[in-house]
Amino acid sequence: MRAGRLRHRIDFEERALVQDQNNGEMIPGWRPVREKVPAAYEPLSSKDLFSAQAAQSQATVRFVIRHWAGLLPTMRIVHRGKLYSIEGEPLPDRDSGLEYLTILSKTGVTDG
């Protein structure tokens, strides 16, 4: 894969206890793990969901990044202000398995 394809920047976050800015209490939330990671971004599909008279949309996206051993499927991705949940284990590249990871993600219904 040519490095020029990795022209998007994404952030990875993980669930953690974070400090509430109003009262200093520790509450469940998300904290940054890695920021501005070079990635290829490819939208795969989109669908509209109608349930309980609330319209929502959901999109499936593929991200490709350089290999990172610390990536967990429990993390989430932030790209251009949108939250993406990681769907399953990231897939290693076909050749060495150590150059790139392909991450299938969804946005729209959950917070990651």
From the first residue on, what is the mean pLDDT of each consecutive set of 10 residues in the chain (112 residues)? 83 94 92 96 71 63 94 95 93 90 84 57
Give me the CATH code for the 3-107 domain, please.
2.40.10.270
Instruction: Give, in order, the Cα–Cα distances in Å from 78 to each of 28, 81, 96, 98, 99.
Output: 18, 6, 28, 23, 22
Kindly list the domain boundaries of the chain, sorted by start residue: 3-107
- Residues 37, 5, 74: CA angle, nearest 5 degrees: 40
Whole-structure pTM value: 0.82
Cα distance between residue 14 and residue 101, in whole Å? 18
Q: Is 18 helix (H, G, I), strand (E, B) or coil?
A: strand
What is the pLDDT at residue 30?
A: 95
What is the pLDDT at residue 107?
A: 85
